[in-house]
Amino acid sequence: MGAKGDETRARLIAGARELIEQQGYSGTGLNQVLAVTGAPRGSLYFHFPGGKDQLVAAALIQSGQEVADLLTALAAEGADTATLSGQLIEVFAERLARSDYTKGCPIATVALEVAGTNEPLRAVCAEVYESWQRILAEQLTTGGFSPAQASVAAGQALALLEGAVLLASVRRSREPLDDARHAVLHLLGAKDSAPRR
């Protein structure tokens, strides 16, 4: 694929990301993606022969990878898990504020909508969340948690974050995210309180 083809594919993914975050999976049609990107219909089906689900999956994977890359970069700089979680919370808080509370977690919008109806996209969302949890758990293990404790605590931190993003969106306030930051700090600072497996 040439540079022009790569650029068109990237535009389609970016357009899909923008729309599904604002409107959800069901509210976003391929015609809308074509309208916002200016891409020809033939290019869409050339790059995404599987249609809408393949395009949405690519958008979710890219969004998830950006967050995973951020966490990995912070970990490489020596950040502990509390710092990683705090930075992630801040990223989502800034996204919400910039979008007037219409955009939070780039995965949650689709995950909530398709978890019971679209197995391929549910699996993509699950894999993205698992990748974030693995990165957090690896940092916790480095910080002295057992592998089992680290996995549970990382899952709890992620659940706190995702719940806080939802509450912040509904309340149109970053207060739930600030509360989640404090809760995560408490959770990750108490190694012995993590459930054992």
Q: Which residues contact 62 (CB under 8 A, 6 or more apart)?
A: 13, 17
The tens digit of pLDDT for each residue in 90-114 reads: 988 998 999 999 888 889 989 999 9
**pTM, rounded to two decimals:** 0.89
At 195 the pLDDT is 41
At 2 the pLDDT is 67
Q: Mean pLDDT for the chain?
A: 90
The tens digit of pLDDT for each residue in 12-54 reads: 999 999 999 888 999 999 999 999 999 999 999 999 999 999 9
CA torsion angle 160 105 82 134 (round to 10): 90
In the chain the first and final C-alpha atoms are separated, in Å, by: 48
Q: What domains sit in the chain, N to C, each tagged with a CATH number? A: 56-193 (1.10.357.10)
CB 82 within 8 A of CB 184: yes
Q: Which residues contact 65 (CB under 8 A, 6 or more apart)?
A: none
